[in-house]
Amino acid sequence: MKKFMKIAALVLVAAVFIGTFVFLYQKSQPEKVSYQILKAETKDLKQTTVATGKIEPRDEVEIKPQISGIIAEVYKEAGQTVKQGEVIAKVKVIPELGTLNSAESRVRLAEMNGKQAEIDLERMEKLYNDKLVSNEEYEKTLLAAKQAREELQAAKDNLEIVKEGITKNSASFSSTLIRSTIDGLILDVPIKVGNSVIMSNTFNDGTTIATVADMSDLIFRGNVDETEVGRIREGIPVKITLGALQNMQFDAVLEYISPKSIENNGANQFEIKAAITVPDSVTIRSGYSANAEMELQHADGALTIPESAVEFSGDSTFVYVLADSTSSVQRFERRRIVTGISNGIDTEVRQGLKAGEAVRGLKIEN
């Protein structure tokens, strides 16, 4: 029994020794590394940039009152279309007490002056008919009576304006009726019945009654980085994609590049605008977020390789060209190349490679 135990112990020790030797031997062997093999291909290549922004109507107008007061009626709501001159809301004037008192006093004074002018005219007519006064004196009295009548009417009209904001004789030009100044779609009506509103003047912008826009003429408004703005120009085609309509793309034309930069998160950017062509069957809402893709430069029939195969070292670029490939070993040669434009996926090779040559790509994990 003891002899058997000794043999078992020796076998166990030998197994441990052999296993350790095999493990150390395998660890000492170089690890086999494999890489993707990529081909240099000829294709058309273009470099683009993407500007982020939003869609908005070219003409968007804020409708403001021409008189201060209280909103009495609201006839339209957001989403409805309006024609130029169509009434959106009505303002009820709340007269200022001092102004109202002055207007009423003016009416009373005009009535007294008018009454006296009529009495004077009646007396003068009797004297004129009896040929006791000259024609000149009669005409002066008649003129004074007419002036008194006009002053009385003006005083009454002024009182109506103070009270109601309009006179009966000029109802069609009422400043209490807030009208649209353009044809378009109402985007917003931020007021309600009972809200106080003020007219625009030197000291404030006034209360916005409604925002109206022509939704048949839309533009993309966004920003381009200063490193790329020098490579775009007005008139180039633009491809617009919307966050709300991800499966659709719209054609546009770049029509404006700002001559002055703005700072955005520490970077200098330039505002751009592009006119969009929208099919009649598609509805686009103001404020949709959008991306505008613009071509910076292109190369037709360029020799290209995936950008992942390019090694950058200082001002030089290199690739590893496949020199030999067997079932067990891949051998590559480092070669300097001259690159051109890149679209972020493929890079143009201007010198150093030929079409069909194989280069090293990413490492293949075993």
pLDDT of 254 reads 95
Q: 181-212: per-residue pLDDT in tens?
A: 999 999 999 999 989 888 877 778 889 999 99
3-class state of residue 285 by DSSP: coil
pLDDT of 366 reads 57
Q: Would you give the DSSP letter of residue 15?
A: H
pLDDT of 141 reads 84
Q: 54-67: per-residue pLDDT in tens?
A: 999 998 999 998 88
pLDDT of 48 reads 87
Q: Where are the beta strands (DSSP E) in the chain?
A: 34-39, 41-57, 60-63, 69-74, 81-82, 87-92, 177-179, 184-188, 196-197, 210-213, 218-225, 237-242, 249-264, 267-276, 289-306, 311-313, 316-325, 330-342, 346-351, 358-364
Higher pLDDT, 363 or 76: 76
pLDDT at 170 over 60: no
pLDDT of 205 reads 85
pLDDT of 289 reads 94
- Cα angle for residues 26, 27, 31 (degrees, 5° grid): 90
Map tokens 């291909």 to a residue.
41
pLDDT at 255 over 90: yes
Cβ(241)–Cβ(291) under 8 Å? yes
pLDDT of 155 reads 80
Confidence of residue 171 (pLDDT cuts 50, 70, 90): very low
| Average pLDDT for 234-257 | 92
Percent of the chain with pLDDT over 70: 83
pLDDT of 19 reads 63
| Average pLDDT for 324-345 | 81
| Average pLDDT score over the chain | 83
Q: State which amino acid sits at residue 116.
A: Q
Q: 2-50: per-residue pLDDT in tens?
A: 666 666 666 666 666 666 655 555 555 455 667 788 888 899 998 888 9
Q: 66-84: per-residue pLDDT in tens?
A: 888 889 899 999 999 999 9
Cβ(226)–Cβ(271) under 8 Å? no
Higher pLDDT, 82 or 131: 82
| Average pLDDT for 295-299 | 87
Confidence of residue 95 (pLDDT cuts 50, 70, 90): low
User: What's the pTM?
Assistant: 0.63
Least confident of 38-47, 120-129, 143-152, 162-171: 162-171
Q: Would you give the DSSP letter of residue 231?
A: T
